[in-house]
Structure 1
Amino acid sequence: MLPATSTTDQSSHQMATETNIVETSIQHKLRGLPKSKGKDYRLYQVPEHLREVNRECYEPSVVSIGPIYYYKRNSLKYSQELKLRHLECFLELGVWKKGYAAYSLGNFIDFLKGWEEEARLFYEDNISLSSDEFVEMMMVDAAFIIYFMMLRSPDFPHREDPMDKMMAWALKVLQDVFLADNQLPFFLLNELYLMAFGSDYPQISFRDITCNFIGESSIPGWVAARTVGKVRVRDAEDIKDLVDFLRVLCYPSVKLGHDQNPKDNEERFCDENKLCCLPLKRQGRNLKDEKKSQFPPTATALKATGVKFLATDGKNLLDIKYRDGVLQIPTLTIEDTTETILRSLMFSEQCHYYEDSYFTHYVFFLDALINTSEDVQVLIKHGIIEHWLGSDDEVATMINRITRNVAITNCEVYYSQVSRDLHAHVTTRWNKWRAILKTDYFNHPWSTLSVVYLVVLLVLTVLQVYTGFTQ
């Protein structure tokens, strides 16, 4: 029989061996991790839990831009011809402007090779493309975007359009250009444009071209692109990609941290187990009610309690205000591409701008305002929504679906003060009674006539009784 000390030594040795095996396994996996790029990634790949809500809004339909979808989908391979035709026209435009002094394709390739390392750092994942493949991708895709936008800008003479006979594709190409992870670095587009056409059009920057391109469309922000947005993007120091460009274009006139109402600058209450944080509860206020009041009641509930709706121009799309019983909301045009554009903007904020997620808060505000087609009809009647979809039900479904699997990470929702004021209006005793009367008794002309008839009958009965007594 072995001594007790010997048994203990064997157990300790066995435990140490097992620990070494586990440690070796973990160390091997740690060494296999991709090397950190030492900076915040500029473009993240959309995760599966967001894609599964509506894949069409996250994957290119016609053209792939950048390395993430490069030759990964068979349905996109034929679009390479479309991009190459734009590249051909891009080069011909240079010859038309400069003649024999025009840059050759080789000159552009040598130029882009100098940007390869920085461009690779733009992407979250280590790109599997070889150096030659990556530079070719940059050349073809960047020339495609630049020429595609120049064709749709009034500042340039009319030139050959490779999509002249392919208008059925145009809307989908517009959508693909603003997909969240179907992007090139904005600096790359800007630098290639400056090299190719900067000396020919010194008064027209690539930011001007992008504004003109958006302004000629009907995507969210098109009014800002024609007006106040031009100044915003011109003064912006760092624009990551075209999605980020669109977000900067639509900045609200008052940013988070500079609240419209001093009441918003309260101390904050943050539950470390929750993503959504709320202001510190003041005396007599319920935290659960506070959370609910971060978002407004529905449009039909607001209408029933006497709130008036006013559509304002869309140059500041995110500027929603409530004053003196009037809810002011800029007009939003909804078409087939709108959901994709909004999802891209929200995903960009989830990755980079969680402290000032203006578009995310805007979409959540709309989602709270709209539950059914009746809510949509209220907003359409007042010019706040214009849509080209098949029905009002489709609009409601789209708005309700768009926030699924999206988290709000900011302590104070941008529109929380507007929402609190709306809830205060709705919960006023007179307004509650007004809503009940309107919903239950005056929701139809016949109902109204019935109530009037009963009131008249009651008055006549009282008069008859009173007359009987006096006689």
Structure 2
Amino acid sequence: MVAVFNKELLSWYLITVKLNQAVESGIQNAQTPTASTSRSIDLPESSSAREIQPSNTDTLQIPIKEDESAQEPDAGQVKPVESEWVISIKDKLQQADQEDGAGSWAKVSIYRIPQCLREGDDNKAYIPQTVSLGPYHHGRKRLRNMDRHKWRALHHILKRTNQKIELYLDAVKELEDRARACYEGQVHHNSNEFVEMMVLDACFVLELLRGAAGGFTHLGYSRNDPIFAMRGSMHSIQRDMIMLENQIPLFILERLFAIQAGGPSDQVGWPAGSQTGVVARLALRFFDPLMPTDEPLSKSDRSKLESSIGTTFDPLTEQGGLHCLEVFRRSLLAIRAGPKPTPRVWIKKWSHTNRVADKRRQQLIHCVTELKDSGIKFKRRRTDRIWDIKFKNGILKIPRLLIHDGTKSLFLNLIAYEQCHLDCTNDITSYVIFMDNLIDSPADVSYLHYCGIIENWLGSDAEVADMFNRLCQEVVFDINDSSLSRLSEQVNRYYEHRWNAWRASLKHRYFNTPWTIISFFAAVVLLWLTLAQTFYSVYGYYKPH
């Protein structure tokens, strides 16, 4: 068969074959370590840019650039592409390194309640029910109703002092980084939102503190005001303001109060420049209804307490990241504790075996019923310091304790703060565990109430016993680190002495009423006479007259 081809078509066919061969050879060379940098094929010369004249002899060199992968190293040195999963892990590690390297853990003083303490029915004691302060509960739906009253408080302050809002915003802006460091974890608010929240919440708190001390009418509020008046809602606000997660740094309150005191129409009366410790004293007056005792302070103790707080809570010091809960706690312990508490050391070689983290081993002393049966008496100690418990000559003297609907939340937040903050003692935790050991049943509560030690405003004795038995669940506590450990040892030694138990049993059985006392002495006299008669009868038999 004879095939006749067009010369031009044949030339294009040859060009296509050459191109295909060049591409295949380029790919093969890219997969080998010894690949050249360029290739060339023979093509017919082109007489112009648009037309190629085929020729059998003349060829055209067309350079072909190799693939970039041909320049990569051999397979043993190729770096694999990182997946999105590995990249996300590296980002998290980098963020952890930044948080750990920042060194801000030592500045935290407003903590989130640990999840182990939230278990059970006590979660409500840590969450505010009326007003939110700070970033932890900011924006909660059921707490938004209080925001309009916060804006009213800020408006009253600006109107009363004739100041501009920029003065407050700039002051808090300077303290923003220091305020953020007081909160645990990352605060998910930008700079403007955080400063606005701090100014609004701090001014609201200051109005409450000043109104409770000098009267809200002097601050320009109506006597029928729904919030800024001493009415039923104030008790709920006081309980919310004492919660650990609902705090404002004290140096923020001090700074804004100093700005207000410099205004032309200050109503409270403190001169500008002497505001150090004033907010702390106002806070003590505001939270006085939550005090767990109603014993009045003497003049010497009152002056000692105020002077201690005035020197301790200085917003210009490095320890200024405190709050109202810490003020309240130090007011309970100020007369006993020094201005700088001794930090706790958790790891000690000589007390590692005595470290207690088990509820069943946190037994300091026995319950009231058992101690009473062993001959220990209970009396009320007249002092405002609830931790000041004394034991001498078999008499355990305990200060009076008021139990109301806010006592549970108060103790839980104080215990949580002592559990989280290592730069404070565990005196409140020691006291609560001591009372928890004393109270095991409603009968124990009833006897302490009979002795005047417990004033129950909560309800039945069973509710008080249940409250104390639930307060210290999941609490890590070291018996050797307790401030009441030595007193507990004295009570236990007295309890374990058998003669004291026998004497108490004798008194309980034969000397509990006047008739049993008379019967006992009559029996003793009768026994003595019987013995005397027997003696003389025997004596007369052997030695008659």
Q: Do they superpose with TM above 0.5?
A: yes
Asked whether the 8 Å contact 2:354–2:480 carries over to 1, the reply is no
TM-score by length of 2: 0.68
Deviation at 1:143, TM superposition (A): 0.6
Pairing 1:66-465 to 2, within 5 Å after superposition: 66-71=134-139, 73-94=140-161, 102-154=162-214, 158-159=218-219, 160=221, 162=225, 163=227, 167-198=231-262, 200=266, 201-202=270-271, 205-215=278-288, 217-220=289-292, 228-237=304-313, 238=319, 240-251=322-333, 253-255=335-337, 269-271=350-352, 274-275=355-356, 295-353=364-422, 356-409=425-478, 411-437=480-506, 441=509
Asked whether the 8 Å contact 1:312–1:331 carries over to 2, the reply is yes
Deviation at 1:47, TM superposition (A): 1.8
Q: Which amino acid aligns with 2:185?
A: D
Give the Cα separation in 2 of the matches to 1:323 and 1:331. Answer: 18
In structure 2, relative to structure 1, the CA distance for the partners of 1:465 and 1:302 (3 Å cut) is closer
SS state at 1:311 partner: strand
Give the Cα separation in 2 of the matches to 1:276 and 1:252. Answer: 28
Deviation at 1:313, TM superposition (A): 3.6
Runs (5+) with no aligned partner, structure 1: 1-12, 95-101, 257-266, 278-287
Deviation at 1:366, TM superposition (A): 0.8
Deviation at 1:467, TM superposition (A): 6.3
Asked whether the 8 Å contact 1:154–1:212 carries over to 2, the reply is no
Asked whether the 8 Å contact 1:357–1:410 carries over to 2, the reply is no
Q: Which amino acid aligns with 2:137?
A: Y
**Larger RCO, structures 1/2 (Cα 8 Å, 6+ apart):** 1
Asked whether the 8 Å contact 1:229–1:250 carries over to 2, the reply is no
2:114 is the counterpart of 1:47: yes
Give the Cα separation in 2 of the matches to 1:167 and 1:319. Answer: 33
Give the Cα separation in 2 of the matches to 1:21 and 1:128. Answer: 25
2:94 is the counterpart of 1:31: yes
Deviation at 1:164, TM superposition (A): 5.4
Give the Cα separation in 2 of the matches to 1:153 and 1:165. Answer: 12
Point out the more displaced range, 225-234 or 235-244. 225-234
Query: Over residues 321-364 of structure 1, what are the superposed CA-to-partner deviations in whole Å (9 max), with x where a residue is unaligned?
Result: 22233322222222111111111111111112376211111111
Asked whether the 8 Å contact 1:175–1:337 carries over to 2, the reply is yes
Give the Cα separation in 1 of the matches to 2:156 and 2:200. Answer: 11
SS state at 2:287 partner: helix
Give the Cα separation in 1 of the matches to 2:132 and 2:159. Answer: 23
Give the Cα separation in 1 of the matches to 2:290 and 2:184. Answer: 31
Question: Where does residue 24 of structure 2 map in the other structure?
Answer: none
Give the Cα separation in 2 of the matches to 1:210 and 1:67. Answer: 21
In structure 2, relative to structure 1, the CA distance for the partners of 1:453 and 1:411 (3 Å cut) is closer
SS state at 2:380 partner: strand
Asked whether the 8 Å contact 2:305–2:335 carries over to 1, the reply is no
SS state at 1:301 partner: helix
Asked whether the 8 Å contact 2:380–2:451 carries over to 1, the reply is yes
Deviation at 1:220, TM superposition (A): 3.3
Point out the more displaced range, 85-94 or 360-369. 85-94
Asked whether the 8 Å contact 1:211–1:230 carries over to 2, the reply is no
Query: Over residues 48-103 of structure 1, what are the superposed CA-to-partner deviations in whole Å (9 max), with x where a residue is unaligned?
Result: 221223011100010000000011x3211112123223323333332xxxxxxx21
Give the Cα separation in 1 of the matches to 2:241 and 2:449. Answer: 29
Q: Which amino acid aligns with 2:165?
A: L
Identity fraction in percent: 29
> RMSD across aligned C-alpha pairs, in angstroms?
3.8
Give the Cα separation in 2 of the matches to 1:369 and 1:432. Answer: 18
Query: Over residues 215-262 of structure 1, what are the superposed CA-to-partner deviations in whole Å (9 max), with x where a residue is unaligned?
Result: 3x2423775695643222112153511111112212264459xxxxxx
Give the Cα separation in 1 of the matches to 2:436 and 2:423. Answer: 19
Of residues 110, 126, 150, the one that matches 1:58 is: 126
Asked whether the 8 Å contact 1:349–1:360 carries over to 2, the reply is yes
Give the Cα separation in 2 of the matches to 1:229 and 1:156. Answer: 26
Give the Cα separation in 2 of the matches to 1:272 and 1:307. Answer: 31
SS state at 2:448 partner: helix
SS state at 1:172 partner: helix
Point out the more displaced range, 334-343 or 34-43. 34-43
Query: Over residues 97-126 of structure 1, what are the superposed CA-to-partner deviations in whole Å (9 max), with x where a residue is unaligned?
Result: xxxxx2122321222222212111111111
Question: Where does residue 543 of structure 2 map in the other structure?
Answer: none
SS state at 1:317 partner: coil
May I ask how many residue pairs the two structures share in their alignment?
422
SS state at 1:123 partner: coil
Asked whether the 8 Å contact 2:445–2:461 carries over to 1, the reply is yes
SS state at 2:232 partner: helix
In structure 2, relative to structure 1, the CA distance for the partners of 1:131 and 1:392 (3 Å cut) is same
Asked whether the 8 Å contact 1:211–1:226 carries over to 2, the reply is no
In structure 2, relative to structure 1, the CA distance for the partners of 1:93 and 1:377 (3 Å cut) is farther
Give the Cα separation in 1 of the matches to 2:399 and 2:303. Answer: 14
Asked whether the 8 Å contact 1:219–1:341 carries over to 2, the reply is no
Give the Cα separation in 2 of the matches to 1:325 and 1:76. Answer: 52
In structure 2, relative to structure 1, the CA distance for the partners of 1:143 and 1:384 (3 Å cut) is same
SS state at 1:153 partner: helix
Q: Which amino acid aligns with 2:333?
A: Y
Max Rg structure: 2
Point out the more displaced range, 168-177 or 345-354. 345-354
Deviation at 1:442, TM superposition (A): 6.4
